[in-house]
Amino acid sequence: MKTVRIALFSILVSLVSALWAQEGVAYVSRLAAQATAQSVILTWKDAEGYAGAQYEVWRSDKEIVKDSLSKAKLLSTVKAGVEAFEDTTVTTPSFYLVLLKDNQGNRKGFYIPYRNKTTVAVKPDSTAQASTAKIKVGAVTYANPQVLIPFSAVPSDRKLVVFRRASAIRALADLKDATLLGNTTGAQTPYHDTPAPGLEFYYAILDAQAFADGRADAFQTENTTEFPAGFPLVAIPAEIKASSLDSTLRPGINLSTRALPLPRLQFGTEPESGVPLVPTAYEPIPSTVLPHEAEAALRRWSKATPSGQSLPPQIVLPEERSAVQEGAARYLVQIQKAYLEPKDWKGAVDALENVLKLSLDERTEARARFYLGESLANLKEYRKAFVEFLAARVSYPSETRPFLEALFNLLDSETD
């Protein structure tokens, strides 16, 4: 008898394995129904191996089995990737079932408790706390000068908060130094942001109430963008653009675009009539060589005057000579190559001021202020440069000292 049981069990395992191999996992898993004050929210995990499939959501006042499907009500057909549905029409205790429909429109008839169907009736509960919205953030797209962050949220009318951060957002604690951009709802997707050029950001969208209450499920991995997004620096050289910016994610920039030159003026004729101008009687005095004593006196005078003051050579801090870092530190490496190396001081000032708008650690902020001071000094904005070097002095005392001494002398000469 025992041998017969073992043989029957082996046959049953073989049949189940064959069915599994034939159909794969053609049903959702982890189906859960959570009652809120005015609705029931269903969440599940999509079936693997069925990209592009759709999911039918069924409801009945009795537990749904194969023979009773015709008596159940089809509530909605949900696209793959949403993995949630809010039933706002339910009023009585109900059971739910989610069935997969493949690309050919074939419905997969599996009825598995705790996987794709519920076994306990549920209805709205006026005393229940509102559940955390299920939010799924998609890949960022571009609409110059804005980035668009698509997302889905169930329930769609729940108040949501949007965060932006220079580094990846992997946990709720990462939001402590993120920027709160504003509020939105699921009905207002996608969210529009206008970041400063040259900076890249990660985004997170959270249920506002759950975040305020500090619930454990307020942050989920699908609440955030996987990759950083932003517009490249307009003045970045082509070789830096190719090595530092992902062309498949970020929009391109036409680096060859420049303003048209001014028209060439004809100085030998009248501008309007074209009549030749009357020659002037002025005759330039031919140049002559200065006497040796006069030339020596001029050289001594130029060395003694305040105008002989000059700034120290350009400095690259140790961090920018090392490997590229994440977040704002990475921007400083790009700014070093795109602006500071070619001595585009005006472009460097604009880019560095954008970086300093972020939430930075003390060391990174000091580096940004050092480069900002260096750029301002070369633009002859000595007072502003002096202030920036003072702010960077604690972290970089030896590097800032020669700049502070030179700027002090230059400022002193301006007051004489």
- The whole-number pLDDT of residue 100 equals 94
pLDDT > 90: percent of the chain: 30
Give the tens place of pLDDT for each residue, 12-66: 545 444 444 444 578 999 999 988 878 899 999 999 888 889 999 999 999 999 8
Contacts of residue 301, Cβ cutoff 8 Å, sequence gap at least 6: none
In a domain, 248, yes or no: no
Task: Looking at the structure, tell me whether residues 95 and 171 fall in a common domain.
Answer: no
Structural domain contains residue 362: yes
Buried b (16+ CB within 10 A) or exposed e, 179-194: eebeebebeebbbebe
Question: How far is it, in rounded angstroms, from Cα 197 to Cα 339?
Answer: 14
- Does any domain span residue 238? no
Query: Do residues 28 and 65 share a domain?
Result: yes
The verdict on 392 and 379 lying in the same domain is yes
Domain tally for the chain?
Answer: 3
pLDDT for position 260? 46
pLDDT greater than 80 at residue 326 = no
Question: Which of 176, 191, 223 finishes a domain?
Answer: 223
27 and 38 fall within a common domain: yes
Residue 28 resides in a domain: yes
Report if residue 43 sits inside a domain.
yes
Domain boundary among 190, 223, 256: 223
Using one digit for the tens of pLDDT, what is the confidence trace for 123-151? 888 766 677 888 999 999 888 778 899 99
Paired sense of beta strands 29-35 and 40-45, if any: antiparallel
Range of the domain at 359: 310-415
Question: Measured in whole angstroms, how far is the alpha carbon of residue 146 from the centre of its chain?
Answer: 11
Q: CB-based burial of residue 395 (10 Å sphere; 0-12 exposed, 13-18 middle, 19+ buried)?
A: middle
Kindly report the CATH number assigned to the domain that includes residue 162: 2.60.40.10
The model's confidence at residue 161, banded by pLDDT at 50, 70 and 90, is very high
Residues 209 and 119 in one domain: no
Dihedral angle at the C-alpha atoms of 174, 176, 180, 186, nearest 10 degrees? 50
Quick one: tokens of 226?
Answer: 């996987």
β-sheet with 141-143: strand ranges across? 141-143, 146-149, 191-193
Residues 98 and 39 in one domain: yes
Residues in the chain: 416
Over range 316-328, report the average pLDDT. 72
Domain assignment of residue 410, yes or no: yes
* DSSP 3-state of 310: coil
The answer to whether residues 27 and 123 belong to one domain is yes
Contacts of 220 (CB under 8 A, 6+ apart): 135
Same domain, 183 and 211: yes
Residue 91 reports pLDDT greater than 70: yes
Cα–Cα distance for residue pair 42/57, rounded to 1 Å: 9
pLDDT digits (tens, 9 = 90+) for 229-275: 887 765 445 554 444 444 444 445 444 444 445 555 455 666 566 67
Q: For position 285, what pLDDT does the model report?
A: 66
Task: Using the 3D structure, point to which of 223, 246, 269 is the last residue of a domain.
Answer: 223
Average pLDDT, the chain: 80
Same domain, 123 and 141: no
Q: Is 290 left (phi over 0), alpha (psi -120 to 50) or beta?
A: beta
- Overall average pLDDT of the 159-166 stretch: 92
The CATH code of the domain that includes 365 is 1.25.40.10
Looking at the domain assignment, is residue 64 inside a domain?
yes
- How large is the average pLDDT for residues 351-374? 88
pLDDT tens digits for range 272-313: 666 776 665 656 667 777 788 877 776 665 555 444 468 888
The two three-digit tokens of residue 350, written as one number: 């604009």
56 within domain boundaries: yes
Are 83 and 168 found together in one domain? no
In which order are the strands placed within the sheet that holds 160-165? 179-184, 160-165, 202-207
Do 81 and 148 lie in a common domain?
no
Distances (CA, A) of 322 to 290, 330, 365, 393: 52, 11, 17, 21
Q: What local confidence, expressed as pLDDT, does residue 283 receive?
A: 62
Residues 206, 125 within the same domain = no
